[in-house]
């Protein structure tokens, strides 16, 4: 069981963002997607939960084609996927507890006490226990990100999709989040997809790393293979040397 993007095309008006992007997320792994800002990483990730639907090509989750899925089944399937948004996307009219409990309330079948207990556990996992009564506006950037992660894991999903979890954080907070991603995999056994443009984070948390470039997959391999690559585009990206990436298609 896995998430598969198969030859996905997506354009916004004349702007072709994905042009035949393919990717298979294997069960249990953490797959990192690298790419420049604006290269379409978030767009690709959103395809995996059906927030966008491909112009061409297919997206499969656990053997089911998202395109053919009735809304109810899509919602059902989304319960197995936690999504960590780039800027956390917390509901600012709600406390942290309410934010983290949102998904659980929707699932139903849980009493208020059970929800409260689960919420407390999730906040503890991301070291925010005791802050449940705060509002998002009262938090630091790192705390918001961690709340976003707590909210994503609340329904005990099989998959966790992280959109730039460490972008814009100071080095210490960044390390905390990277460790958290590793723990999610080890302790909760989740399959992860991590989007980033940070090569160090990518090599630390990723079992495999893909690079999205001009709408297609330019590279796929282990961190060691990434470091040993001879592809000038990939090399230019990881070494921060744009002159190497200058090439015609």
Partner 1 sequence: MTERLLAPFTAIGRAALSLASGIGRWGVFAGDTVRSLRHVDVWGRLLLEQMSRIGADSVPIALFISTFTGVVLALQASYTFTGAIPMYFVGVLVGKTMMLELGPVLTGLALSGRVGANIAAELGTMRVTEQVDALETMAYPPLAYLVAPRVLAGIIMFPIVTVLAVGIGVVSGWLTSLQLLDMSTAEFLRGLTLFFRPFDVVFTVIKATSFGLIVTSIGCYFGFHTRGGAAGVGQSTTRAVVASSMVILVLDAFWAVVLL
Give the footprint of ligand ADP on this chain (CB under 6 A): 12, 17, 35, 37-43
Asked whether position 51 contacts partner 1 by CB under 8 A, the answer is yes
Q: Looking at 25, 33, 90, 209, which residue binds partner 1 (CB under 8 A)?
A: 90
Q: Looking at 35, 40, 57, 103, which residue binds partner 1 (CB under 8 A)?
A: 103
Choose between 35 and 50: whose C-beta lies nearer to partner 1: 50
Binding site partner of 30, from partner 1, ligand ADP, Mg ion, none, Cβ cut-off 5-8 A by kind = none
Beta bridge partners of 194: 32, 162
Contacts with 203 (C-beta within 8 Å, 6 or more apart), sequence order: 209, 223, 226, 227
Choose between 83 and 125: whose C-beta lies nearer to Mg ion: 83
Asked whether position 196 contacts Mg ion by CB under 5 A, the answer is no
Q: What tokens appear for 126 in the block?
A: 């991301």
Choose between 85 and 219: whose C-beta lies nearer to partner 1: 85
Choose between 33 and 48: whose C-beta lies nearer to partner 1: 48
The stretch near partner 1 (CB under 8 A) out of 73-81, 124-132, 172-180, 213-221 is 73-81
Asked whether position 87 contacts partner 1 by CB under 8 A, the answer is yes
Beta bridge partners of 82: 160
Binding site partner of 101, from ligand ADP, partner 1, Mg ion, none, Cβ cut-off 5-8 A by kind = none
The stretch near partner 1 (CB under 8 A) out of 23-31, 89-97, 122-130, 231-239 is 89-97
CA distances from 72 to 76, 77, 125, 174 (A): 6, 9, 30, 37
Choose between 39 and 166: whose C-beta lies nearer to ligand ADP: 39
Q: What tokens appear for 74 in the block?
A: 């899509």
Distance CA 151, CA 145 (A): 10
Applying CB under 8 A, which residues contact partner 1?
A: 46, 49-51, 71, 75-76, 78-79, 81-83, 85-87, 89-92, 102-103, 106-107, 151, 155
């Amino acid at each position: 069981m896995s998430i598969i993007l198969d030859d996905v095309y997506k354009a916004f008006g004349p702007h072709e963002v994905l042009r035949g992007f393919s990717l298979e997320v294997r069960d249990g792994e953490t797959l990192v997607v690298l790419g420049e800002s604006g290269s379409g990483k978030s767009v690709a990730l959103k395809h995996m939960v059906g927030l966008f639907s491909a112009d061409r090509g297919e997206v499969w989750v656990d053997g089911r084609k998202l395109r053919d899925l009735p809304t109810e089944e899509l919602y059902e399937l989304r319960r197995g996927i936690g999504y960590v948004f780039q800027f956390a996307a917390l509901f600012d009219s709600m406390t942290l507890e309410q934010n983290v409990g949102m998904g659980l309330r929707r699932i139903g079948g849980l009493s208020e006490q059970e929800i409260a207990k689960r919420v407390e556990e999730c906040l503890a996992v991301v070291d925010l226990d005791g802050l449940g009564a705060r509002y998002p506006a009262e938090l630091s950037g790192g705390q918001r990100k961690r709340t976003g992660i707590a909210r994503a894991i609340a329904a005990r999903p099989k998959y966790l999709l992280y959109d730039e979890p460490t972008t814009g954080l100071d080095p210490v907070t960044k390390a905390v989040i990277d460790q958290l991603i590793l723990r999610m995999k080890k302790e909760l056994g989740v399959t992860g997809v991590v989007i980033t443009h940070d090569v160090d984070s990518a090599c630390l948390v990723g079992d495999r790393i893909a690079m999205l470039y001009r709408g297609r997959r330019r590279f796929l391999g282990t961190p060691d293979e990434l470091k040993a690559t001879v592809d000038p585009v990939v090399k230019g990206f990881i070494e921060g040397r744009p002159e190497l990436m200058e090439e015609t298609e």
